[in-house]
Structure 1
Amino acid sequence: MILCITHSQDFYNIDLFFNYLNTKNIPYFRLNSDRLNHLQKISIQEDFFLLTDESGNTLDSRTVKAVWHRKSWGISIPEELDETYAKIFLKEYASLRYNLLTLLEHVPWINPLQNENKIDGNKIHQLKLAKKHNLTVPQTIFSNDPEKITEFFRQSCSGKMIAKLHGAISKSMGGENLLSTHIIDEDSLEYIGDIEYCPMIFQPYIEKEYELRIVYLDGEFFTGKINNSEHTDWRVAQGDYFWSRYALPESIKANLTSMMKEMDLYIGAIDMIKSRDGNYYFLEVNSQGEWGMLQKELGFPIAERIADNLIKRMKTNE
């Protein structure tokens, strides 16, 4: 049994994964993270848990042999719940979810949960590791201090920098509910005083030839190039953008592989840009990043390779 942790609105990627498991006669269970609440019946004991989901499907954790933690969404609060109890509701169900997931740490995960949390929660740590493994990274400051940000702008940004949130809030690669990266120039710098209400990551604006979305999967690479050189974020820009397959230089693949191994991640969606000065700049890796567009547009068998990885490790672990 493979447990897939996702959310109630997930489709395509997850359907490809389940369809492939069906061809291999591998049983699976879909656990919607946002519905791990009053809609499900859950009992956790010392060594196992029992669960009945919102559709009446039942799961005994002792049958789970591997886990794909695809996506975790926020836990949904019932509309009828008084606001006074909302924080308590979320706190206790978040605790229940954490206890439930950690009971499965002994089986193979496509990414170990604690490793995902460490890497996704620390972009500065990512950049430090990328640099350690000989990848080129932009100069970066994560700050809520207007004076330090202004100093960074003057010294490192040549009159133009980008600002972005540390956390990813987008729900899809289509741009829905996405807060785009902002460009800051001399004119907009005067409003930087408001940063104390929302610390952000700042980097010099890099003139680019194109962007790359790279899916790393246990030493294998699936790389898509998008023909965006003008906008900071193609997902929210209006334009005739298209994906094409891209062959990464072997030196970049070797550096990314050593970085991902130190992060102890089996899979990650890596964003890089090829700059007009000829460099490949590492921006970030998202252990739960989207890749469906690469499989759909370029025919990469990513869902199948994720399943193969889990099946192989599941059998080794028996």
Structure 2
Amino acid sequence: MTVLILTSEQDVTADMAVVELNAGGIPVLRLDPAELPGGVGVSGEFAHGAFHGHLSVGGRVVSMGGLRSIWVRRPGTPASRASAASAWLTEEATQTLYGMLRCTDARWMNHPDAARQARHKPWQLWLARACGLPVPATLITTFPRVAREFTERYPDLVVKPVSGTHPGDNGLAVPTTRVRPGEDYRDVAHGPTLLQRRIRKTADIRLTCVGERMFAARAASGQDTDATDGIVDVRFSAGAGPWRPVAVPRRIADAVHGYLRRAGLAYGAFDFAEDTDGIWWFLECNQSGQFGFVEIETGQPIARAVAQWLAGEPLGPPLDPGEEGEWTLGGAEHG
């Protein structure tokens, strides 16, 4: 049976998992919904109480009934590259592709419904707190007066986008930035603004979860976290790092497991800020977050774990669950 990967053509993170799947002899079909119709073809028949669907890409045709799993990695918008692209055609292609795939028995990483909900930052913050994760005081508002009152209670704040980076943004990102002293917050009225108490962090934590497996990495904060430009985002910090494996505290592992279960996610990349007391403060969970940079720097076999989940069976010798930085639910406590 075949693993279907929905992602863009240039996706190094997906490439790493494909290498593992190929090495394990697992058939893989990789396509970008942006190429439907054109480079990607789809057909489905509903007759006599049965559904028979097929996908084609590069001259290769695969039965949807033969899909073992579907990895919704970083897919493009359906029909966005069509010769006669339009909002109508995108809606038609989206409903066709994802509607047919929902008719299969394949496992999802992650299911489109769960993935759509998981992108909502307000819901993430609520769920993280409900599951027992420490969450910094946060305000999302369009009222300047409310923002000013929040500042009086929490003078040291950062501002960040509510939506984060979407797969269709071509890698563009807005960095988390400290709020300047004396800010009057008039601009808050022009759009929802997320303000959050700044954590005086000693390190950034990336916790990558694949099924019940957890891989944690830590990057010590660089000297530029208090730079004059106000940027306190590890993605833009030249002095941060390098990433190193770190043990996962049991209370964090239990809370994250609850988060994934309630969110219906098979994969999640969690970002935490570690403070001077060693507390991991939840910042966000990216349901399709990158893991390649962590694996390259730490050597943690995340791509292999993803491949094994998608395959639904072992790929060669089993991974060692005891290495530092990895936590397997039901296993021994770390930290």
Letter in 1 for 2:6: I
Normalised by the length of structure 1, the TM-score is 0.85
> In 2, distance between residues paired with 1:240 and 1:108?
37
Match of residue 112 from structure 1: 111
Say whether residues 1:134 and 2:138 are aligned partners: no
State the 1:267 CA deviation: 1.6
Which digits, 9 at most, give the CA deviation of each residue in 1:117-161, with x for residues without a partner? Answer: 2222x2222222221222110111222222222222222x22x21
Match of residue 246 from structure 2: 246
Match of residue 162 from structure 2: 166
Letter in 2 for 1:66: S
Matches within 5 A, 1:79-118: 81=84, 86-104=86-104, 106-118=105-117
Which digits, 9 at most, give the CA deviation of each residue in 1:25-60, with x for residues without a partner? Answer: 21110021332344322223332432322x333222
Letter in 2 for 1:185: R
SS at match of 1:45: strand
Comparing 109-118 and 299-308, the one that deviates more: 109-118
Change (3 A) 1:238 1:170: farther
Say whether residues 1:186 and 2:199 are aligned partners: no
User: Which structure dedicates a bigger proportion of its chain to strand?
Assistant: 2
State the 1:76 CA deviation: 5.8
State the 1:277 CA deviation: 4.2
Match of residue 49 from structure 1: 53
SS at match of 2:117: helix
SS at match of 2:126: helix
> In 1, distance between residues paired with 2:251 and 2:81?
51
Q: How many residues align?
A: 301
CA contact (8 A) 2:205 2:218 kept: yes
Match of residue 150 from structure 2: 152
SS at match of 2:269: strand
Match of residue 205 from structure 2: 212
State the 1:223 CA deviation: 0.9
> In 1, distance between residues paired with 2:187 and 2:239?
31
> In 2, distance between residues paired with 1:17 and 1:233?
27
> In 2, distance between residues paired with 1:112 and 1:79?
25
State the 1:261 CA deviation: 2.0
Structure 2, unaligned runs of 5 or more: 226-230, 315-335
Comparing 136-145 and 178-187, the one that deviates more: 178-187
> In 2, distance between residues paired with 1:197 and 1:103?
42
Deviant stretches of 4+, over 4 Å: 78-81
Change (3 A) 1:171 1:71: closer
SS at match of 2:312: helix
CA contact (8 A) 1:162 1:205 kept: yes
Match of residue 311 from structure 1: 311
CA contact (8 A) 1:170 1:179 kept: no
Which digits, 9 at most, give the CA deviation of each residue in 1:167-220, with x for residues without a partner? Answer: 232669xx9522212221333x22x32334331322111111110010112222
Change (3 A) 1:111 1:94: closer
Match of residue 3 from structure 1: 4
Comparing 38-47 and 198-207, the one that deviates more: 38-47
> In 1, distance between residues paired with 2:81 and 2:312?
40
Letter in 2 for 1:110: M
Query: How high is the sequence identity, in percent, across the aligned residues?
Result: 23
> In 1, distance between residues paired with 2:212 and 2:195?
31
Change (3 A) 1:2 1:179: same
